[in-house]
Amino acid sequence: MAEGFIPVSRKEMEEKGLSGVDFVYVVGDAYVDHPSFGCAIIARLLEAHGFSVGLICQPDWKDPESIAVYGEPRLGFLVSSGNMDSMVNHYTVSGKRRSKDSYSPGGVMGRRPDYAVIVYCNLIRRTFKKTPVIIGGIEASLRRLGHYDYWSGKVRRSILLDSGADLISYGMGEHSIIEIAEALDSGLSVRDITFIRGTVYKTRDRDALEDALVLPDYNLISQDSPAGRRAYAESFAIQHRNTDPFRSSRLAETYDGSLFVIQNLPSLPLTTREMDDVYALPYKRTWHPSYDAAGGVPALGDIKFSLTSNRGCFGDCSFCALTFHEGRIVQVRSHESILEEARNFVKEKDFRGNIYDVGGPTAEFRAPSCQKQLKVGTCADRRCLFPRPCPNLRVDHSDYLKLLREIRAIPGVKKVFVRSGFRFDYLMADPDKSFLKELCRYHVSGQLRVAPEHISDNVLSRMGKPPVSVYNAFRREFEKINQKLDKKQYLVPYLMSSHPGSTLKDAIALAEYIRELGYMPEQVQDFYPTPGTVSTCMYYTGLDPLTMEKVYVAVNPHEKAMQRALIQYRDPANYDLVKEALIREGREDLIGFGKECLIPPRRMGGTGRGAGKPGREKKDVSGKRTGEDRGRGSSRPQEPGRNRKREKNGGRR
């Protein structure tokens, strides 16, 4: 018996003295009972409220019996693809199949289907025709209304319709799942659960439209035409501006004028007490023992000894789905909750004294961006940090700094790293540089990963990122502090190619910037269009949905390959692409042997500029070879919940 775990089989259910369960939870991940995994949070939360749960992890989607192991649940099925979107989990941006699934036992790929939520729900409906089915997690949350699907190249319907489910619990889900469970437990039909925040339902009752903003009809937004794309951009803009729990409206998407998908208001943010309660649930903090023979579940990795301190992000980058999924209002745990978890690390037999992260979507955010957000919500017409910090923004690192000091002081803790992303523009807006000084002194292991993403202000403005001058100022400050500390530490900038707005001219400018730094990126992220982001809308429509301005988009695979190659212009394998791009843009001045040149006039074989075996070593900004950070994928898998911002915060239920 797997003592203390949620049951993963009928045998384990019976060993707990149960003849059946209230909810059967079908999930595309292996079961890791840790608060960085959405499945564990939702299952433990339901248990804490008196509901029994049986897990079916990675069922055989070709066999209807695989989801019938517990029989019919008393209240309903819960379905999630897992912590990651199944399509991002399976494919790179170029459409190549990934070789490893970190959320499966032993990292084995192929344990879940494409479009997992839809497949699982259709499997359930083959046997359980009338049992309530509630879907959630990142895959369902970002597809809750009509959405552009990069993998099929078209606008798809709400996942609620394609899956045949009854309800979507969107966002992080803690509030809505308990309200849904209690409503079903009271005897209410799932068809009548139309009133819960953080849910989406379908209806043919036209009265449901009375107090809702009606979006353009699906038949219009799905048209492959300029009018259809413009309507899609307008629809997405309305959705993007209605992700705030305090000032949003209910939304309604129509299908043929007679079927309506209704999005209720977002759930209210968790209070600090509620966050503490979620992380205090009795997690076993490891994978289910049935995976031991396969070597466990790789995704647990460093996350096992990492600390989540917040959720939500007011950074609001265009390519990030956090606004659509978690929202812009930052929610935090108390110091005592975090410190208690850290103290428990010390008791673990495999803890070696290192805490690998203290953070969340953005590490140093420890409060809402301004005082008014918890009363009236976030602004619909401005961003907190872009194009420059809002005058109402509270810039304060003192609470986060105090937290890091307290964790460092715990007996048995040797080192505390900060590996979550942090906003260097927020840091530079703080006149007190105490946090950066202590970050460099105590919390960086030689390299600090930051995300300028690009250096062209034209591209950065489409990304919702600060101008390159802010990054340059941060870089100088970082170098100055490390000189004073007599530390040789370097910045490792994350860079993105082919983001909407990026031309070959912009890509060449980025290559020249890299040349000046003496930096050779080992890996580059191509822009990956995932549901729920402003950038994906730009990619599909050629319009910025927030301004309706036209945006240049590199969609031709060959041009995208050239933009990517320019970032890694020293790689001999990229020589022809780089040369073609430079000639196309009239930049033959960068072809030659001068120090300002990117490539020589011809391939140099085993010697000269650009020679050498690629992909083995990385150079830091000083040109020093580090050999660290190997193996980062060519397209960093995104929580499309933050696409890229900590998968551990991206999947709930």
State pLDDT tens for residues 559-577: 999 999 999 999 999 999 9
Confidence of residue 445 (pLDDT cuts 50, 70, 90): confident
CA distance 303 to 324: 24
pLDDT of 607 strictly over 90? no
More confident residue, 382 or 614: 382
Helical ranges in 5-105 per DSSP H: 10-15, 38-48, 86-90
State pLDDT tens for residues 206-234: 999 999 999 999 999 999 999 999 999 99
In terms of Cα–Cα distance, which of 503, 474, 506, 428 is closest to 621?
Answer: 474
pLDDT of 620 strictly over 70? no
Report all structural domains of the chain as residue ranges with CATH numbers, in order of start.
10-263 (3.40.50.2300), 309-568+614-649 (3.80.30.20)
The whole-number pLDDT of residue 333 equals 98
Q: What is the full DSSP assignment across 405-441?
A: HHHHTSTT--EE---S---HHHHHT-S--HHHHHHHH
pLDDT of 626 strictly over 90? no
In terms of Cα–Cα distance, which of 481, 489, 351, 345 is closest to 407?
Answer: 345
pLDDT of 623 strictly over 90? no
State pLDDT tens for residues 23-52: 999 999 999 999 999 999 999 999 999 999
CA distance 183 to 197: 13
In terms of Cα–Cα distance, which of 609, 549, 553 is closest to 578?
Answer: 609
The whole-number pLDDT of residue 73 equals 98
Q: Whole-angstrom distance between the N-terminal and C-terminal Cα of the chain?
A: 25
The whole-number pLDDT of residue 254 equals 97
Confidence of residue 382 (pLDDT cuts 50, 70, 90): confident
Strand partners, 520: 619
In the block, tokens 């998908």 appear at: 261
pLDDT mean across residues, the chain: 91
State pLDDT tens for residues 504-526: 999 999 999 999 988 888 778 99
The mean pLDDT value for 63-74 works out to 96
* Contacts with 295 (C-beta within 8 Å, 6 or more apart), sequence order: 105, 106
State pLDDT tens for residues 127-177: 999 999 999 999 999 999 999 999 999 999 999 999 999 999 999 999 999
The whole-number pLDDT of residue 605 equals 62
Q: What is the distance, to the nearest Å, from the Cα of residue 124 to the centroid of all Cα atoms in its chain?
A: 28
pLDDT of 69 strictly over 70? yes
Interhelix angle 398-408/434-442, rounded to 10 degrees, is 30
Flag whether the pTM goes above 0.75.
Answer: yes
Collapsed DSSP state (helix, strand, coil) of residue 144: coil
In the block, tokens 């517990």 appear at: 70
Amino acid at 623: G
pLDDT of 639 strictly over 50? no
Per the rule left: phi > 0, alpha: psi between -120 and 50, beta: everything else, 624 is beta
CA distance 495 to 430: 25
pLDDT of 249 strictly over 90? yes
* Contacts with 186 (C-beta within 8 Å, 6 or more apart), sequence order: none
The mean pLDDT value for 358-362 works out to 94
The whole-number pLDDT of residue 585 equals 97
Q: What is the distance, to the nearest Å, from the Cα of residue 401 to the centroid of all Cα atoms in its chain?
A: 25
Inter-residue long-range contacts of 351-355, CB under 8 Å, 24+ positions, other chains counted: 351/305, 351/412, 352/414, 353/412, 353/413, 353/414, 353/415, 354/305, 354/414, 354/415, 354/416, 354/417, 355/305, 355/306, 355/307, 355/407, 355/413, 355/415, 355/416, 355/417
CA distance 89 to 112: 10
The whole-number pLDDT of residue 518 equals 87
pLDDT of 587 strictly over 60? yes
